[in-house]
C-alpha cells in the first residue's frame, strides 16, 4: 500500500507544480479486500464497487489492488476530491451529504437494513440522489478526465484505456466531452471552466 501513498505524493507535487492546485481537504483510506467487503456492506455499496468518494467529509475510499489502485486513486481522490472541494456543484453535494449524515445520526441507525429503509424517505437523500443523477455525466466525466491526465503523467495510459472500455456509457460520454474541451481550449481553461483553477 505504501506505493499508492508514494504515488499520491508524487501526483500531488506534479499538480501543484503544473497548476498550483491539489486536494487540500480530502483524505484517502485504502482497504484490504476483507476490509473492503465490510465497508461496502456498512455503506450499502455493491461489492463490485472498487472506490468511492464521500463529499460530506471529503474522503476517498479505495480497495487495494496493485494494478487498479493507482487508477482508483486518480479518479476518487484527485478527480472527485478536486471537483468537490472547489466547484459550486461539489459544495452543494457536500452540504446535502452533511445534512443526510446529521439525520442518520439522529435516527440512531444500527444496521444496513435500517439505513436503507431510512434513506427511502429522507428528503436530503432523495434530493442528493436526484442531483447526482442529473449531474453524473459532468461529475464522473471530470473525475475520468483527471484519471486520464494523471495516467498519462505516471505512464499508466494503457491501464486507463483498458478500464475505460468497461465503464458505463454515461461516464464515457462525459469523459469524451471534457477531453474534447481540454484538447480544444487547453487544460488550464478546462480547470477554470470547472472553477477549480481561479
Its domain, for residue 101, covers 2-193
- Model pTM score: 0.91
What does the pLDDT read at residue 191?
A: 96
- 31-85: pLDDT as tens digits: 999 999 999 988 888 878 899 999 999 999 999 998 889 999 999 999 999 999 9
Residue 13 pLDDT > 80: yes
Residue 23 pLDDT > 90: yes
Any domain includes 10: yes
- 81-108: pLDDT as tens digits: 999 999 999 999 999 999 999 999 899 8
Any domain includes 128: yes
Any domain includes 18: yes
Any domain includes 55: yes
Any domain includes 30: yes
What does the pLDDT read at residue 10?
A: 96
Q: What is the mean pLDDT of residues 110-129?
A: 90
Q: Using N-to-C axis directions, what is the helix angle for 123-154 and 169-185, rounded to 10°? A: 50
Any domain includes 198: no
What does the pLDDT read at residue 38?
A: 92
Query: For the chain, what is the domain count?
Result: 1
Any domain includes 130: yes
Amino acid at each position: 500500500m505504501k506505493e499508492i501513498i508514494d504515488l499520491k505524493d508524487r501526483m500531488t507535487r506534479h499538480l501543484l507544480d503544473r497548476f498550483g492546485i491539489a486536494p487540500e481537504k480530502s483524505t484517502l483510506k485504502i482497504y484490504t479486500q476483507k476490509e473492503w467487503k465490510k465497508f461496502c456492506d456498512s455503506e450499502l455499496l455493491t461489492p463490485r464497487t472498487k472506490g468511492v468518494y464521500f463529499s460530506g467529509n471529503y474522503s476517498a475510499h479505495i480497495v487495494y489492488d496493485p494494478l487498479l489502485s493507482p487508477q482508483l486513486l486518480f479518479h476518487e481522490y484527485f478527480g472527485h476530491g478536486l471537483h468537490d472541494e472547489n466547484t459550486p456543484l461539489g459544495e452543494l453535494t457536500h452540504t446535502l451529504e452533511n445534512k443526510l449524515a446529521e439525520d442518520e445520526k439522529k435516527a440512531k441507525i444500527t444496521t444496513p437494513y435500517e439505513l436503507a429503509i431510512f434513506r427511502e424517505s429522507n428528503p436530503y437523500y432523495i434530493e442528493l440522489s436526484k442531483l447526482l443523477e442529473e449531474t453524473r455525466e459532468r461529475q464522473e466525466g471530470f473525475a475520468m478526465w483527471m484519471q486520464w491526465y494523471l495516467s498519462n503523467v505516471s505512464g499508466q495510459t494503457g491501464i486507463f484505456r483498458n478500464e475505460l472500455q468497461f465503464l458505463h456509457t454515461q461516464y464515457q460520454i462525459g469523459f469524451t466531452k471534457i477531453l474534447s474541451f481540454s484538447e480544444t481550449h487547453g487544460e488550464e481553461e478546462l480547470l477554470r471552466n470547472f472553477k477549480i483553477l481561479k
